[in-house]
Amino acid sequence: NFMLTQPLSMSESPGKTVTISCTRSSGSIASNYVQWYQQRPGSGPTTVIYEDNQRPSGVPDRFSGSIDSSSNSASLTISGLKTEDEADYYCQSYDDSGWVFGGGTKLTVL
């Protein structure tokens, strides 16, 4: 199995843009889709990006995803930050052994 590493925490001001990284430890980041989940306190996870860069219906286009093979990482970018974006964010991918989650990034918007 591989690991996905995320920064533990990030903070940014409302209206700004933040990019959360997710680095794959072994194997190519491009070999398996990456998803991103938002989890607010006391709630379950919800998908904000799937298949590297696809947004589910209802997710604002302020959320975007990408992968970078040179750094073997995926990124979640949130532009025009709102206080409601304050949450934990998890990346997720998979291999034949099952799903793999990153450790999560606590995003503070203040």
Partner 1 sequence: QVQLVQSGAEVKKPGASVNISCKASAYTFTNYGISWVRQAPGQGLEWMAWISAYNGHRNYAQKFQGRVTMTTDTSTSTAYMELRSLRSDDTAVYYCARDSGGYRPDYWGQGTLVTVSS
Q: Which residues bind partner 1 (CB under 8 A)?
A: 1, 32-33, 35, 37, 44-47, 50, 90, 92-94, 97-104
Please give the Cα distance from 106 to 38 (Å, whole number): 10
The minimum distance between CB 86 and partner 1, in angstroms, equals: 16
- 13 vs 31, beta carbon nearer partner 1: 31
Query: From the CB of 76, what's the least distance to partner 1, in Å?
Result: 15
* Smallest gap from residue 40 Cβ to partner 1 (A): 13
Q: Provide the strand spans (E) within 1-110.
A: 4-5, 9-12, 18-24, 35-39, 46-49, 63-68, 73-78, 87-95, 98-101, 105-109
Residue among 21 and 45 whose Cβ is closer to partner 1: 45
For partner 1, the closer CB: 78 or 102: 102
Residues paired with 81 in a beta bridge: none
Q: Pull the structure tokens for residue 86.
A: 């304050």
Facing residues of 76 across strands? 20, 65
Nearest distance from C-beta of residue 55 to partner 1, angstroms = 13
Q: Toward partner 1, which CB reaches closer, 73 or 92?
A: 92
Give me the amino acid identity at 26.
S
